[in-house]
Structure 1
């Protein structure tokens, strides 16, 4: 009876010991299997400086975006709704909300002639970014400037490139130069209007005529004229 009573206990104890050893052996292998080094993410950080080169054309708050695909405007093609909104009224919100954008900067204040705006944009593990900047010349109907889909791939850390931006006509509003359609300080008029009453394609801007050069209805003077380039852009990869 004693042997019948103790035999199952001894067997049970042995089984527990074996199971325990097996479990310990299994635990011992886990650190080896999971000890895989995870690479640190690579940071790509860019400092951007934009300078207004005009005499009397304040620039609207900048839209600055990093993206990998596409262009935000093309000469000879209709402006997008987001570009029209920016070029007529200086509103950068729709431009920044584009689905292609992977990082963005929205300026909060206009850039006066001779002044600059400086900011940084950064992304992780994206070596093939493109940079697009856009801003309105606010003493016009629908003139804008910027740089479009600049390839940043060649930039090593510490390197810089300098670029110049021309004045473009969004082609969405006729260049009447009437005060009621000039949102800048020269007119204090309407900004964006959904009606397109011009060529409906982006082109190099022909420039301002002004009242001083015979356009009697113009709210603009000779000081509001501009030649190309209208901005200087310096891009530095700082990380």
Structure 2
């Protein structure tokens, strides 16, 4: 078995393939995360650029947890691989992914997921440079909570798709500032926002998630 492992490792090296283990953990108290989305790509700002409007694909993820159009970035937008988590990620839970860089120009990892008991909040990081890691090395980074800026943070029953409200997901109308920035947080009914479908436990602080990346080969 040891010999087989060595042969497999040698084959990966000869093929120029780099393998990484990526673990994503939900650090919130009562905010399930939509299926985690991972992209490996060669150009920066593929997923988003802070202070700029988000793409329609990321808007759908941020408002309704639907990552299908972001995953469809594969083979476009300088994306080598696009992965989706198997299911929503519960508070305190984690999920592991294996990614492989086969193309010499691919160097970045971007991660995103919606906090589903919000209007349009995402935990995300763009352009993590994987090429800085050597085999056996690992890094842990925390993901801030961003406001996609596409939907007003009304917190009403009809506008939040998560289990706290069961309301609408994506809506094509953009009635907020229309640029990505750090999320100011939710207020909730417990803080006096009368129409809010949220409770105190649905509040969150930055960071909202943690990512541990280890280079295997």
* TM-score normalised to structure 2 length: 0.90
Q: Distance in 2 between matches of 1:91 and 1:180?
A: 17
The answer (yes or no) to whether the contact 1:48–1:120 under 8 Å persists in 2 is yes
Q: Distance in 1 between matches of 2:103 and 2:162?
A: 40
| Map 1:12-31 → 2, pairs under 5 A | none
Pick aligned residue for 2:71 from 71, 93, 96: 96
- CA offset digits 1:141-200 (Å, max 9, x no partner): 000011111011111111101100111000000000001111100011110111111111
Q: Distance in 2 between matches of 1:75 and 1:63?
A: 18
Pick aligned residue for 1:57 from 31, 40, 51: 31
Higher helix share: 1
* 1:153 alignment partner, SS class: helix
Aligned twin of 2:87: 109
Aligned twin of 2:152: 174
- CA offset digits 1:67-120 (Å, max 9, x no partner): 010211122110111110100000111111221210121112000000001111
Q: Distance in 1 between matches of 2:98 and 2:157?
A: 36
Q: Distance in 2 between matches of 1:125 and 1:103?
A: 10
Q: How many residues align?
A: 201
* 1:212 alignment partner, SS class: helix
Aligned twin of 1:44: 18
In structure 1, stretches of 5+ residues that fail to align are 1-38
By relative contact order (CA 8 Å, sep 6+), the higher-ranking structure is 2
2:204 is aligned with 1:229:
no
Pick aligned residue for 2:44 from 65, 70, 76: 70
Pick aligned residue for 1:150 from 122, 125, 128: 128
Give the C-alpha shift of residue 40 in structure 1: 3.0
The answer (yes or no) to whether the contact 2:108–2:130 under 8 Å persists in 1 is yes
The answer (yes or no) to whether the contact 2:165–2:197 under 8 Å persists in 1 is yes
- CA offset digits 1:125-151 (Å, max 9, x no partner): 436510000000000000001111101
Aligned twin of 1:159: 137
What RMSD over aligned residues (CA atoms) do the two structures have, in Å? 1.2
* TM-score normalised to structure 1 length: 0.82
